Structure 1
Amino acid sequence: MPTERKFPPSKLSTLEKGQEIKLPVEFIQELSSALSLQEVLDSVSQWIHKLFDAERASITLQNGHDFLKLYSISGNKAIPLDYDVPIADTFVGRVFSKRTLTVCDDLEQSHELDCQLLSQYGLKTCMDAPLISGDICLGTLNVAHNQTNYYTELHALKLQCLANWIALNIRLHLQVKELKYLASTDHLTGAPNRRAFTTAIIQSIREFHEQGKLFFIGLMDIDHFKALNDRYGHNAGDYVLRKVVKVTEDLVGNLGHISRIGGEEFAIILNQSCEQEAVKLFKAIKDALANTVINYDGEEIYFTVSIGVTHIAQGDDTPESLLKRSDKALYNAKSMGRNRVNTFTTTRLLN
């Protein structure tokens, strides 16, 4: 059995009386000025590396039900950045699951995966603390040294206190990130919402005028969507909306993105410099959706979309002119039979 020492909260509380933790002012200022979660994690790992005279300091955060991901490392790269560490059968996973700071005094005696990796790179001992905020364990804060039996009870107290303080900071950043996501995401389809679309198109217009990056915009509307809802029910309509986003995202890939800007209306920003290629992709989206069959509640649901397309021009300084042209193209597509792609720059329908 490996040599281990465990420090549950009850044991650490007996060590707290009369103890003080002194931190560099630079650390406090750097942490308070961090604008992103990654900046917080990088700052913490670098300073923990110094404060504990460690060969390696790292931070993991939970990544799904079964893994902890390494988000920041300072020092020895025995376990690389972005590595997914299994929660099961690992030292760091036990610390996370049990929510108990634990010291492995001799890594060579451990058969757990992460301890073996650290040992192979010359490290002799490690100490991992759970990042606990309220009733949630977010991940772990870890240090390792090249001497066995290096860490003391006071080291353990200090690391856990820092982990508790840092966990609060991390949780606040995660909550802000979640709020931003909710504010910019359509809850039904998972696509960016109208607010996010407005931000994106303003940015695309700016990049066109500053860097010459051409882009196209397509307004897409599901044909006869009210009739579909009336016939099959709103739950079926919701399923159709989600399917539209999924099919479109798969086809657009990294060339752009789709946003839901209204009930059954979507906007697609396509980063493309060739009109022929852009229209070809919009046609592919239209055809793929027309060929989509949704099996819902024992029935097969078919639907089509109409798309109005235009591209950025020198006179476009705000989204309004682009939206007006693409909306006119969409109106023409619908008035001429639906299930069509129509561009503002030509009256020819591209079926």
Structure 2
Amino acid sequence: MSSSINHESICLPITFVNELSKSKDLPETLDLISHWLPQIIDADRASVCLHNGQEDTLEVYALYGNKAIQANTILQIDNTMVGRVFQSKTLEINNNLKESQDFDCRILHEGGLNSCMDVPLQKSGACFGTLNLGSLRENAYQTQHAVLLECIANWLANYLHAQMEITEQKKRAETDPLTKASNRRCLTIVGNELLNKWQSDKQPFAMIMMDIDNFKHFNDRYGHNVGDLVLVTFSQVINQVIRTYDHFFRVGGDEFVILVSGNVDAAEKLAERIRLEVAGMSVQYDIHNLHITISCGVTSAQLQDDSLESIYNRADQALYLSKKNGRDRTTVN
């Protein structure tokens, strides 16, 4: 169903408006927008780019159709049409991509597109992203298309901005402010989701529990600032090692948990890799070169588990054995 436009009104597909009002979170909303835009304004590609927190880049957060520039691609603001639209807060049309010097336009043309149109997403005068359309045809977009896309962008910007604020508030509520790992509250949510999948579909998952050996020593000898530096550095190592589909949590002072998709063998290998990476690093403080080690306890979801707490307790017991047997080791329970 296509939209129509005159000087006084815009008609949008009822299904689009209904689905948008029922979307549960920001990613679903972005996917809906990219899916419906080509049906509202004729296009072979639609995407939503958002400022990703880095000063000079945008990211393709949602995409439908032609994949010349894929989802999750990071685009520089400089030397791109999308970046210029973001900075100038002004819609642009390019109906002859093969002649463009903009990096993103050249990539789109190499992917088969010949026209594109980008419009800023703005709230209270601040631009936070863009809507982007592309067509295989040359001279695909005219003034009436620009008016329509700009009106849609202005309407969606308020909706998206509100969802982005909710998403950010939720993220803050579930994130440890020091290490940026997820917190205990988030562990309960994610862990129970994985447990439900295990109970219903037998999708395996495992838990790694870790703490820093003799952590109190760093606080007592060097001060809590150094203790915090140790925690932050340790967390950075974890984030470099774990996979994108693993989940990292800080559950206490120096106690951390990783939920691993897969069986206990995969979790044990990951725990050992982390342990060795940490043992090979050092924390620089003043003239001191501080070395740390960790102890790990590993377990997996088992048939008798009826709660996340039972898995947590078993991992805790494994961690206790690692510490009892000399620290700097991994124990599977």
- TM-score w.r.t. length of structure 1: 0.76
Aligned 1:49-198 pairs, distance under 5 A: 49-54=38-43, 56-63=45-52, 64-74=54-64, 79-104=69-94, 107=97, 110-116=100-106, 125-144=115-134, 146=137, 148=139, 151-152=142-143, 154-198=144-188
Aligned residue for 1:221?
211
CA-atom RMSD in angstroms: 3.4
User: Which residue of 7, 12, 25 maps to 1:23?
Assistant: 12
Aligned 1:191-270 pairs, distance under 5 A: 191-253=181-243, 256-270=246-260
Q: Please, which runs of 5 or more residues in structure 2 have no aligned partner?
A: 1-6
Q: Name the CA distance, whole Å, in 1 between partners of 2:198 and 2:90.
A: 53
| Count of matched residue pairs | 326
1:151 maps to a residue whose letter is: Q
Q: What displacement does 1:302 show?
A: 2.6
Q: Name the CA distance, whole Å, in 1 between partners of 2:271 and 2:61.
A: 38
Q: What displacement does 1:262 show?
A: 0.3
Q: Name the CA distance, whole Å, in 1 between partners of 2:204 and 2:134.
A: 51
Q: Name the CA distance, whole Å, in 2 between partners of 1:77 and 1:253.
A: 25
Q: What displacement does 1:287 show?
A: 4.5
2:207 maps to a residue whose letter is: I
SS at match of 1:330: helix
Q: Check the 8 A contact 2:207/2:267 in 1, yes or no.
A: no
1:186 maps to a residue whose letter is: D
Q: Name the CA distance, whole Å, in 2 between partners of 1:323 and 1:131.
A: 44
Q: What displacement does 1:307 show?
A: 3.1
SS at match of 1:258: strand
Residue 324 (structure 1) aligned with residue 313 (structure 2): yes
Change (3 A) 1:168 1:313: same
Q: Name the CA distance, whole Å, in 2 between partners of 1:203 and 1:280.
A: 23
Q: What displacement does 1:299 show?
A: 0.7
Q: What displacement does 1:174 show?
A: 2.0
1:174 maps to a residue whose letter is: M
Deviation track 1:205-247 (CA, whole Å, cap 9, x = no partner) reads 3333334445443432223322311211212111211232233
User: Which residue of 280, 284, 294 maps to 1:305?
Assistant: 294
Change (3 A) 1:315 1:300: same
Identity of aligned residues (%): 39
Q: Check the 8 A contact 1:258/1:269 in 2, yes or no.
A: yes
Q: Name the CA distance, whole Å, in 2 between partners of 1:150 and 1:251.
A: 46
1:101 maps to a residue whose letter is: L
SS at match of 1:88: coil
Q: Name the CA distance, whole Å, in 2 between partners of 1:310 and 1:79.
A: 41
Deviation track 1:18-61 (CA, whole Å, cap 9, x = no partner) reads 63333332332122122333433343344433333445544332
SS at match of 2:101: coil
Q: Name the CA distance, whole Å, in 1 between partners of 2:244 and 2:69.
A: 31
Q: What displacement does 1:70 show?
A: 3.5
Q: Check the 8 A contact 2:263/2:300 in 1, yes or no.
A: no
Deviation track 1:125-144 (CA, whole Å, cap 9, x = no partner) reads 54432111123212222345
Q: Check the 8 A contact 2:213/2:327 in 1, yes or no.
A: yes
Q: What displacement does 1:265 show?
A: 1.1
Q: Name the CA distance, whole Å, in 2 between partners of 1:198 and 1:308.
A: 18
Aligned 1:330-341 pairs, distance under 5 A: 330-341=319-330
Aligned 1:38-49 pairs, distance under 5 A: 38-49=27-38
Change (3 A) 1:144 1:341: closer
1:168 maps to a residue whose letter is: N
Q: Name the CA distance, whole Å, in 1 between partners of 2:79 and 2:277.
A: 45
- TM-score w.r.t. length of structure 2: 0.80
1:327 maps to a residue whose letter is: D
